[in-house]
Amino acid sequence: MKSLVDHMTEQEDLEERLLRTGAIATYGARSRKEGEDSVRAFKQGQQALRKGGPDVDLEDRIKRIEQLTCPPKLPSV
């Protein structure tokens, strides 16, 4: 038969395992979301660079690349 101390220790271990499982699930879901966001941003960048095809002149392509790589500056307050 289990003593009270053994029972309490077992309950604490179960709670700790449950918390670890929840943390792992949360980190996994967040990691997946971040990965999907980065893939989406990459594909949007590719589409923006391909826009216009080979008929677009070099200056327009350079402007498009600058817009993709340099975020717009926020107005100063």
Report domain extents, the chain: 4-68
**What pLDDT sits at residue 28?**
95
What pLDDT does 23 receive? 94
User: Rounded distance, CA 71 to CA 49, Å?
Assistant: 16
pTM > 0.75? no
Provide the pLDDT for residue 24: 95
* CA pair distance 45, 7, nearest whole angstrom: 57
Residue 47 CA neighbour count, 13 Å, CB half = 6
Low-confidence ranges of the chain (pLDDT < 50): none
Which pLDDT score is estimated for 73? 66
Determine the Cα–Cα distance for residues 39 and 42; give it in Å rounded to an integer.
5
Give the per-residue pLDDT at 76.
Answer: 63
